[in-house]
Amino acid sequence: METTAYLARLGLPSLLGAPPTPEALRALHAAHVERVPYEALEIWLGRSTTVDPLDSAARIIRGRGGYCYHLNGAFSALLAALGYRVTRHVGGVQMRNSEPGITANHLVLTVSGLPSVDNPGGEWLVDVGLGDALHEPLPLIEGSYKQGPFTYGLRRSEVAPGGWRLDHDPSGSFQGMDLAPEPAEMSAFAAMHTHLTTSPTSGFVRVAVVQRRDAYGVDCLRGLTLTRYGNTSLSVTLDSARDYYAALSDIFGLPLDDVSAQEKDALWSKVHAAQEAWLSAGAS
């Protein structure tokens, strides 16, 4: 684990060697979602990935992002290296108009042993892999929590005895997330990772999505549609490869230095074709 390089990526080199505290955990979480985007562009580039946390951490250090298995997997390794008591759990993200369940389509984290005034039990829900959801960790206590323009609910899960349920803000991209209470190994996510990165029914395969959370809202790029949610609301369509790659770099911190010019041409062609197909389907 390249802890120094990872902290530099987050802009928090001063936390190297610092003791675990709730304040430091909040700073790490917020920096991660602000600086490391939620993205699955490797699928659209024809590149395979693993769920190994150290593989994911190395890719993040090189300037890329990932989705939940990568982001939370790498973050759990970073937290462990910094001395936090972190546990991985099997989760299930419930999309709107679907049923809740522990489907393993999500990796979620908890951290224990960090009591604070508002959380005397010291247990925290930690999740940097939900795209447009948490900006900071939540106390693992039932209640309603406001972060910026969004409000989240935390309660006991109805589908995972002993587990927890996060209810997303009504404006969010999904309805909620349940997590099982038992610790999980990364092998628990391998089969679903294969499905999510290869199946024609996977949302990651159908739409190239990039998201970045900050204290005031969320930037979301779905195909060529760039939308800002939160403190302001606006949406534009990116009409050229130049605009697309400028948005990736300037808004999401993805200059794609690891992608060749030929690969960028191919990526633009695929994303543009998918956008045109989506527009045609909507018009028919």
Segments in 82-211 forming alpha helices (H): 190-198, 203-206
Q: 33 and 60 in contact (C-beta within 8 Å)?
A: no
Domain boundaries, the chain: 201-283
Global pTM reads: 0.93
| Gap between the Cα atoms of 141 and 120, Å rounded | 10
Checking if the pLDDT of 281 tops 80, the result is no
pLDDT confidence of residue 284: 40
C-alpha distances in angstroms, 51 versus 28, 35, 171, 232? 21, 20, 29, 35
CATH code: domain 201-283 is 3.30.2140.10
94-137 residue pLDDT tens = 998 889 999 999 999 999 999 999 999 999 999 999 999 999 99
pLDDT confidence of residue 261: 95
71-85 residue pLDDT tens = 999 999 999 999 999
